[in-house]
Amino acid sequence: MAKKIGILTGGGDCPGLNAVIRAAVKSAINDYSYEVLGIEAGFEGLMVSAVKTLTMESIRGILPKGGTLLRTTNRGNPFEYPVTEEGGKRCEDRSGACLYNIERLGLEGIIVIGGDGTLKIAERFYEMGVPIVAVPKTIDNDLDATDYTFGFMTAVSVATDAVDRLHSTAESHNRVMILEVMGRNAGWIALYSGIAGGADIILIPEIPYDPQAIVDSIKSRQEEGSDFDLMVVAEGAKRVGGEEVYTDKVAKRLGGVAYQVATEISEHIDLETRVTVLGHLQRGGSPIPFDRLLATRYGKAAVDLVARGKFGRMVALRQDKIVDVPILSAISNPKYVDPSGQVVTTARSLGISFGEPTKG
């Protein structure tokens, strides 16, 4: 009888998820003659045994598609599953139902594609004896274990396109255009798209900003004859001595720091200021070729790990090679922008301001 493996996508969606699924299914069937079960909506599908067999037919045409064929959720932690009853909400441990279904379905390996939240759940199951292999996913690129997560470069490409489009309108109207991008507490998307789009100011969480430094930078460009500015702000950016800005503090949903920056600087400059929040446009749609390729390499490598019985491992990209690392190391080491690293130094040499307070 064919060995049966499962595959699921958890957490927020990300361009390239379908490319991983496609590569994993193709490699599982072509190289190992496995039967592949797609588990619906992350770990929630495991709780209720919502699975479907993935064949060559079912994955046809999904390579360029955004989102995930298997659907996903960032609310389905089986160890703390939220239930609403009379008298309010509480959390229930439903991991037992997952374990029961894994056994009943006869899964000899599960490929979990997710970001840090999903990988934490995966690691817990692995420690309970579940044969899990992980694939890192997030547009934020904030995992130290890998050079790049798939989806990041697509988000950078969307954000760069937005900077380009804002450029012409900023110049036509003599305005300061502020673009807020995603990335949670890491400034990668802002840094890369800001440099690629030729921004004048980039604000990232790793370098707290001083509104006066931003004002000074805008004025000094005006003195040089440029009456417009492009600013890219990471959603997790914060003022020196300040805190992150949330649209929902309880849910820890970041957003709105660009409006805060606009308010802080607009009284001190004689240019109009406008804000654009790019939001989920960065997550939706077709992955760029870099992400399709990376996702494909990850999907194939994950199946190889299952075949070799190397569980509790995550595929990662290091110096253009696909390697595997413990899932635990991936979830315990976030990756942030190094304020004195090469990319930031390059940006500084080009005259890009990070809004840092002037020394002295």
* Residues that are catalytic: 140
Total interface residues for ligand F6P by CB under 6 A: 13
CA distances from 132 to 165, 236, 266, 322 (A): 43, 32, 52, 18
- φ/ψ of 300, rounded to 5, equals -65, -45
Site residues (CB under 6 A) for ligand F6P, limited to 189-208: none
Site string for ligand F6P, 140-169 (x = CB under 6 A): x-----------------------------
Q: Closest separation between CB of residue 282 and ligand F6P, Å?
A: 7
Please say which residue, 254 or 271, places its beta carbon nearer to ligand F6P.
254
Q: Among residues 111, 182, 203, 316, which is the contact residue for ligand F6P, using CB under 6 A?
A: 182
Q: Among residues 75, 90, 253, 318, which is the contact residue for ligand F6P, using CB under 6 A?
A: 253
Please say which residue, 175 or 184, places its beta carbon nearer to ligand F6P.
184
Residue whose C-beta lies closest to ligand F6P = 182
Q: Are 82 and 75 in contact (CB under 8 A)?
A: yes
Site residues (CB under 6 A) for ligand F6P, limited to 110-139: 115, 138-139
Stretch that binds ligand F6P, among 16-24, 176-184, 310-318, 345-353 (CB under 6 A): 176-184
Helices and strands in the chain, H and E counts: 11, 15
The residue type of 48 is V
Among 121, 70, 71, residue whose Cα is nearest residue 99: 121
Q: Among residues 19, 179, 254, 261, which is the contact residue for ligand F6P, using CB under 6 A?
A: 254
Stretch that binds ligand F6P, among 122-130, 181-189, 224-232, 332-340 (CB under 6 A): 181-189
- Give the pair of three-digit tokens for residue 242: 């300040």
Site residues (CB under 6 A) for ligand F6P, limited to 11-30: 12
Q: Closest separation between CB of residue 191 and ligand F6P, Å?
A: 14
Name the one residue in this structure whose structure tokens are 């240019």: 271
Output b/e per residue, 20-43; b: 16+ Cβ within 10 A.
bbbbbbbbbbeeeebbbbbbbbbb
Q: Measured in whole angstroms, how far is the alpha carbon of residue 198 from the centre of its chain? A: 23
> For 223, what's the count of Cα atoms within 13 Å in the CB-facing half-sphere?
6
Among 288, 287, 329, 322, residue whose Cα is nearest residue 303: 322
Q: Closest separation between CB of residue 82 and ligand F6P, Å?
A: 15
Site residues (CB under 6 A) for ligand F6P, limited to 276-305: 283
Site string for ligand F6P, 64-83 (x = CB under 6 A): ----------x---------
Query: CA 116, 12, 277: angle at the middle one, nearest 5?
Result: 110
337 part of the interface to ligand F6P, by CB under 6 A: no
Among 297, 296, 331, residue whose Cα is nearest residue 313: 331
Please say which residue, 18 or 27, places its beta carbon nearer to ligand F6P.
18
Chain residues that interact with ligand F6P, rule: CB under 6 A: 12, 74, 115, 138-140, 182-184, 235, 253-254, 283
